[in-house]
Amino acid sequence: MTVALPIRNPCPPGTCICGRDALLDAPTADLRSLRLTLMEEKRLLERLENIQSLQDLEHMQRRLFDQLGIRLEIAPKASEVRSLRGIGIHIPERPGLCRKIRQSIPAAVRKSLEKRPEIVYRLLDAHDLFRDS
């Protein structure tokens, strides 16, 4: 007996290029990103906006990849700006992942980092950017 997991509803035609239908048609496709339903997306964004520490952020990065196949990349940019603006937050494109989600997740992380600048300092320190300070 197979239990069907709920998957995200399709985007309105012409508004998204996520490739949801092609992903569903592929027999060996990784469908984890389609598990992010609208309700789950709201819960995820709320959780990301309330991150408490760098360890919490790293834990969420691992969980995003393990459960949804979403790789959340957070690192200082090459310009070495020592503030929140110098932190690059990026989600690479992948089939089944909407553009809206690829924008809302980094925005939620950025909002969390704005609330807790000590996470930014720990992140910069982890990348050895305070070596000359």
- Of 113, 130, 133, 128, which is closest to residue 54 (Cα–Cα)? 113
- Which parts of the chain register pLDDT below 50? 1-3
Residue 88 lies in a domain: yes
The answer to whether the beta carbons of residues 98 and 18 sit under 8 Å apart is: yes
* Per-residue confidence (pLDDT) for residue 6, from 0 to 100: 81
Per-residue pLDDT tens over the stretch 97-113: 888 899 999 999 999 99
Residue 68 lies in a domain: yes
Residue 97 lies in a domain: yes
pTM given for the model: 0.84
Residue 50 lies in a domain: yes
Residue 37 lies in a domain: yes
Residue 131 lies in a domain: no
To which residue do tokens 């995200």 refer?
Answer: 8
Residue 11 lies in a domain: no
Domain that holds residue 118: 32-126
The answer to whether the beta carbons of residues 26 and 108 sit under 8 Å apart is: no
Three-class DSSP category at 87: strand
Number of separate domains in the chain: 1
Residue 18 lies in a domain: no
